[in-house]
Amino acid sequence: MNDYLEMAFLAEPNDVNFGGHVHGGEVMKWMDQIGYALAVRYSKGYAVTKFVDNIDFMKPMKIGDLVRLKAQIVTTGQSSMNIAIEVTSEDLGSGLVVNNCCCTMVFVAIDANGKKRALVKG
Ligand SMILES: CC(C)(COP(=O)(O)OP(=O)(O)OC[C@H]1O[C@@H](n2cnc3c(N)ncnc32)[C@H](O)[C@@H]1OP(=O)(O)O)[C@@H](O)C(=O)NCCC(=O)NCCS
């Protein structure tokens, strides 16, 4: 599927915040990375983050959990891609899965001169 992407990895000790959970800024970086990867793949070229909306940190995430990010293209325009992103984490010992965070992001396809370009779809 060209309009959907998943990533999974372990939350590492260097991702920790002062409260002992995964740092919110790290989660935001991961969401930006998966959004970027999907936008570049979908638009067949470079893309940049334009707008981030509705970030909701619902539950904290533990170090050592299996983090899974899911990104789905919801709508597209001339140059823009509106992407919904969800983050879950799994406690590998118990198998318990928690919905940690979600947001929507807009990425814009960019040409070699740094200007927006029309999406190449399909
Ligand atoms: C991305 C950039 C080239 C767009 O420049 P621009 O010519 O002014 O673009 P526009 O205002 O026409 O917006 C481009 C598209 O984004 C959409 N858009 C812009 N702001 C938006 C917002 N707040 N919400 C939703 N969509 C938005 C526009 O509707 C347009 O969509 P369309 O082409 O599909 O119709 C420019 O804003 C830029 O370089 N921004 C910096 C990006 C950056 O540094 N990101 C962080 C690091 S990756």
Q: pLDDT by residue (tens digit) across 22-55?
A: 999 999 999 999 999 999 999 999 999 999 999 9
106 lines ligand 1 (CB under 6 A): yes
Query: What local confidence, expressed as pLDDT, does residue 20 receive?
Result: 87
| Dihedral, 61, 64, 68, 69 alpha carbons, nearest 10 | 60
Atom of ligand 1 nearest to the CA of 115: 3
Q: Tell me which amino acid residue 117 is.
A: R
Beta strands in the chain, from DSSP E residues, in sequence order? 4-10, 47-57, 66-76, 80-90, 97-109
Q: Which tokens sit at 4?
A: 């959907």
pLDDT tens digits for 57-113?
A: 999 999 999 999 999 999 999 999 999 999 999 999 999 999 999 999 999 999 999
Domains present along the chain, CATH in parentheses: 4-109 (3.10.129.10)
8 A C-beta contact, residue 69 and residue 10: no
Atom of ligand 1 nearest to the CA of 81: 34
The model's pTM = 0.95
